[in-house]
Amino acid sequence: MPTLGIIGSGNIGTAVARLAAAAGIPVVVANSRGPRTLAGLIAQLGPLAAAGTVEQAAEAGDLVLLSVPLIAHTGVPPAPLAGKIVLDTSNYYPSRDGRIAELDEEKLTTSELVHRHFAGARLVKAFNNILAHHIPELARPAGAADRTALAIAGDHPEAKVDAAALIDRLGFDTVDAGPLEQSWRFEPEAGAYTRLYLADHGTPDERMLQAPGRPVAASEVRRALQTAERVRVAGRAF
């Protein structure tokens, strides 16, 4: 299996790196502080994992997971990602990212904004609609009866095929939500966002980061995407 580059070694980057290592997929992981700060994680991930600079992670394989806070994406150089399939996990949280007028005015979805910076890459939005702790909890081998599906979106059909094949190896089915322009359907507070995977839908916001998940089949994710209503982004406080 080709190497997966991972830029961002936080909650999502680490969760995906663990699944990749477990699936026999080599990874090169980068963060903002440099490869030496990743020694502990790399030791846990085992021999298929290496730490690298952002450029090395970007150049390591055809697919690269980009999992940095939205506000930080412009700090990642676009040139090494040209021609790559970039799995973008970004979500817009104004409390963290500051207010971004084009998103508040709903002129763009978050991943369309990110794609503008990485114009030479083929961007697939993925792993943004599931809480980090639900990733190891809900990953299952292909064909498992209780397999969970994740939503993806992108403007390049062949890139979505390759992204779906990777995500399948990592432990999830996928449901194609369409082009990036439609990805609001699984952005914060929309119907196909993280609450969908909570075992208890009544979980208060402040307890979500500890709350158990539940398997969600592709048919249910598809329904959630179809029935999602566009969130008034400017009204979001967090």
Ligand X SMILES: NC(=O)c1ccc[n+]([C@@H]2O[C@H](COP(=O)([O-])OP(=O)(O)OC[C@H]3O[C@@H](n4cnc5c(N)ncnc54)[C@H](OP(=O)(O)O)[C@@H]3O)[C@@H](O)[C@H]2O)c1
Least distance from ligand X to the Cβ atom of residue 145, Å: 25
Cβ distance to ligand X smaller for residue 97 or 155: 97
**Residue showing the smallest CB distance to ligand X in the complex:** 10
Q: Is the dihedral of CA 18, 219, 174, 92 positive or negative?
A: negative
Cβ distance to ligand X smaller for residue 74 or 182: 74
Cβ distance to ligand X smaller for residue 93 or 203: 93
Least distance from ligand X to the Cβ atom of residue 160, Å: 18
Least distance from ligand X to the Cβ atom of residue 91, Å: 4
Cβ distance to ligand X smaller for residue 32 or 203: 32
Least distance from ligand X to the Cβ atom of residue 168, Å: 19
Least distance from ligand X to the Cβ atom of residue 32, Å: 4
Q: Which residues bind ligand X (CB under 6 A)?
A: 7-13, 30-33, 54, 67-70, 72, 75-76, 89-91, 93, 128, 131-132
Cβ distance to ligand X smaller for residue 143 or 188: 188
Q: Are 109 and 187 in contact (CB under 8 A)?
A: yes
Q: Is the dihedral of CA 84, 90, 92, 96 positive or negative?
A: negative
